[in-house]
Chain A
Amino acid sequence: MGEIKKDMVEMKEAPEGYEGRGFFATKLDSVIGMARSNSLWPLPFATSCCGIEFMATASTNYDLARFGMERMSFSPRQADLLMVMGTIAKKMGPILKQVYDQMAEPKWVISVGACASSGGIFDTYSVLQGIDNVIPVDVYVPGCPPRPEQILEGVMKIQELAKSESLRRRNSDEYKRMLEGYNIEVSK
């Protein structure tokens, strides 16, 4: 305990900009992107085996909290990142979509494991062959189940995406068309 050692605390680099005496000017996009990427609130949508690996990721040894994800949000309304982990059966599909609908923009989706990404070994009548049939996905993590390191890597990829995303993206026509392609109502 005691005082925090300075060199153990990692300070985030400020985005590119113009610096002078008493001022610093940069793009709004970059500042917001930096803030977003380090304060993502994940919603763990864990259904099966990958969920157990996620428990390992979130607990002591692998410690997801190192990346600014201390706070799991179990309510979709306060979440930024939907982490789908495990098999999604057809019975579950509509519920997943509803959860996605309830999340506020901006939102990202990470599909953890083979089952969520493509159905995995369960090419059967009851399993949804990849959650991208129902909702758009930003990052896929392969593995059955992926190791905690892989899940961390996937989350960090999402952070990169969030960091470099343009503020206009969610209002663009392409984005709206994509959502319409999934039959998801575009939020006003």
Chain B
Amino acid sequence: MEQKYSTIIDSIKVKHPDAIISAEQLYDIPCIHVNKEYMKALVMDLKNNFGFNFLTDLTVIHYPDNKGNELCGSYLFHNWVDNVRLRMKVFISTEDNHLPSLVGAYKAANWLEREAFDNFGIKYDEHPDLRRILNMDEMDYHPLLKQYALEDESRRDKDDTFFGR
């Protein structure tokens, strides 16, 4: 199993030396850190030539203390023929929160990217229909960013003097 993983990562590295910044092993899943500029081309190649035919998951993680690389777009691909999973991570900053959209490569990315936009405000370039999906359209912030509270800030029925919060 380990053998299979390292050969795949090595062959990706050989083919895309500029794209891959580093690689690590996250438990049973290998993970590559990727340069944003080369990401689209890499994903197309992963799909067409490396057999990663399935986009399992797409999400975003917010690291507010990681200055300059606050937001991390995280993708999980699955190669069903060899049964290999691969995680891909792209770090971007809050100021320049654009990522290329993967809808062209995997249709499943459509709503996943909308969800990520809704929760984290990441703008996926060339996304066909980038709107909020879960929250109300009137919402003026992206709630899963770490600086926002879980509870509704407009609540008045919880008086802190009595609840000791």
Question: Could you jot down 14 A-B contacts, CB within 8 Å?
Answer: A91-B136, A123-B150, A123-B151, A124-B150, A124-B151, A125-B143, A125-B148, A125-B149, A125-B151, A125-B153, A126-B135, A126-B143, A129-B155, A129-B157
Q: A71 to chain B: closest CB distance in Å?
A: 34
CB-contacts of A80-136 with B (<8 A): 90-91, 123-126, 129
Cβ of B134 within 8 Å of any chain A Cβ, yes or no, is yes
Complex-state Cα separation, A90 to B134, whole angstroms: 11
Residues of B within 8 A of A (CB-CB), count: 12
Q: A123 to chain B: closest CB distance in Å?
A: 5
Complex-state Cα separation, A126 to B152, whole angstroms: 8
Q: How large is the interface on A (under 10, 10 to 19, 20 to 34, 35 or more residues)?
A: under 10
Complex-state Cα separation, A137 to B136, whole angstroms: 25
Complex-state Cα separation, A124 to B143, whole angstroms: 10
- Assess whether A124 is in contact with B135, with CB atoms less than 8 Å apart: no
> Nearest residue in B to A124 (C-beta to C-beta)?
B150
- Assess whether A129 is in contact with B152, with CB atoms less than 8 Å apart: yes
Chain A residues in the interface with B (C-beta under 8 A)? 90-91, 123-126, 129
Q: B68 to chain A: closest CB distance in Å?
A: 28
How many A-B residue pairs lie within 8 Å, measured between CB atoms?
Answer: 22
Complex-state Cα separation, A90 to B135, whole angstroms: 9
Q: Which residues of B contact A126 (CB under 8 A)?
A: 134-135, 143
Complex-state Cα separation, A125 to B149, whole angstroms: 8
Q: A77 to chain B: closest CB distance in Å?
A: 27
Complex-state Cα separation, A126 to B149, whole angstroms: 12
Q: A114 to chain B: closest CB distance in Å?
A: 16
Q: A157 to chain B: closest CB distance in Å?
A: 25
Contact with A along B134-165 (1 / 0, CB 8 A): 11100000010000111111010100000000
Q: Which residues of A contact B155 (CB under 8 A)?
A: 129
Q: Which residues of B contact A125 (CB under 8 A)?
A: 143, 148-153
Q: Which residues of B contact A90 (CB under 8 A)?
A: 136
Complex-state Cα separation, A123 to B152, whole angstroms: 8
Q: Which residues of B contact A129 (CB under 8 A)?
A: 152, 155, 157
Complex-state Cα separation, A129 to B151, whole angstroms: 10
Q: A27 to chain B: closest CB distance in Å?
A: 40
> Nearest residue in A to B154 (C-beta to C-beta)?
A125
Q: B139 to chain A: closest CB distance in Å?
A: 8
Which of B135, B150, B152, B155 has the largest count of A CB atoms less than 10 A from its CB? B152
Closest 9 CB pairs of A and B: A125-B152, A91-B136, A125-B143, A123-B151, A124-B150, A126-B135, A90-B136, A124-B151, A129-B155
Given contacts A125-B148, A129-B155, 15 further A-B contacts (CB under 8 A): A90-B136, A91-B135, A123-B150, A123-B152, A124-B150, A124-B151, A125-B149, A125-B151, A125-B152, A125-B153, A126-B134, A126-B135, A126-B143, A129-B152, A129-B157
Q: B70 to chain A: closest CB distance in Å?
A: 21
